[in-house]
Amino acid sequence: MSAIERQFYHFAFDPASRVVRMALGEKKLDVTEIAVKYWAPTDELLKLNPSGLLPVLVENYEDGQTVVVCENRAILEHLEELPLSPRLWPVPMQERAEARRLVGWFERKFDYEVNALLLYEKMEKRLMGHGAPDINNLRAGRESLRDHLSYFESLLETRNWLAGRSMSYADFVCAAHLSVIDYFDEMNWQKYPHLKTWYMVIKSRPCFRPLLNDILPGVTAAAHYKELDF
């Protein structure tokens, strides 16, 4: 039984939403996109997900059943349980565990150590009308970003993909996060050659294209943001 209709509640520059857009694209699922300002969740969203967090996927099935799947982790696991290719958790147990560890890394570390500083100052303050960026937070966020990028670079020195031998959700999560940072011109790709090569490969996948066309009103994307060869 396959879903006859899907709605996807998301915000274009929310990294968690971007991960799922990539997964939906990779698995060739059509969705009706519904843009939500995550800092001001609508009643419609809160009814679907009482936490108010994005993204949310709603599926309507042939038998009248509706399935509401809330937030990143649940949606990725759910999509993987549907009979769709490609599979985005690696088959070997250790590599699968490694991919899930890295997905968690972004949710529990990167989000707090980088996004809460750098993206908050450069994007959220603007969206929420909270004034000009704080220079100390920007500096701390950039410093933390460098540590994270060095870590990803070290992983990719010995791996084709972030979690190991095959492309996985870990790559999507990492690319989704870095792509938003890249929009704001905060990625110094030249310093991380393995990461740059990896990003070029991900960036050229069809599922990634829609993300490159996103525009945040009032903020011009970095000059190389859309370039596949940067």
Instruction: Using CB under 8 A, pick the residue from 32, 94, 188, 197 that binds a second copy.
Output: 94
Residue 149 beta carbon to a second copy: minimum distance, rounded to whole angstroms:
14
- Applying the rule CB under 8 A, the residues between 150 and 169 that interact with a second copy are 151
| Number of chain residues interacting with a second copy (CB under 8 A) | 30
Nearer to a second copy, 14 or 182 (CB): 14
Is 4 near a second copy (CB under 8 A)? no
Instruction: Using CB under 8 A, pick the residue from 27, 34, 77, 207 that binds a second copy.
Output: 77
Q: Find the part of the chain contacting a second copy (CB under 8 A) among 100-108, 137-145, 190-198, 206-214.
A: 100-108
Report in angstroms the alpha-carbon separations of 4 from 26, 53, 113, 126, 226. Answer: 18, 25, 40, 38, 33
3-state secondary structure of 195: helix
CB < 8 Å & 24+ apart, contacts of 37-44: 37/11, 37/127, 38/11, 38/14, 39/124, 39/127, 39/128
Residue 32 beta carbon to a second copy: minimum distance, rounded to whole angstroms:
19
User: DSSP labels for 68-132?
Assistant: EEESHHHHHHHHHHSS-SS--S-SSHHHHHHHHHHHHHIIIIIIIIIIIIIIIIIIIHHHHT--S
- Applying the rule CB under 8 A, the residues between 173 and 192 that interact with a second copy are none
Instruction: Using CB under 8 A, pick the residue from 2, 51, 160, 204 that binds a second copy.
Output: 51
Instruction: Using CB under 8 A, pick the residue from 37, 101, 165, 209 that binds a second copy.
Output: 101
Backbone angles phi, psi at 114, to 5 degrees: -115, -60
Is 210 near a second copy (CB under 8 A)? no
Burial 14-28 (b: 16+ CB within 10 A, else e): bbbbbbbbbbbbbbe
Residue numbers at the binding site for a second copy (CB under 8 A) = 49-51, 53, 65-71, 73-74, 77-78, 81, 93-94, 96-98, 100-101, 103-105, 107-109, 151
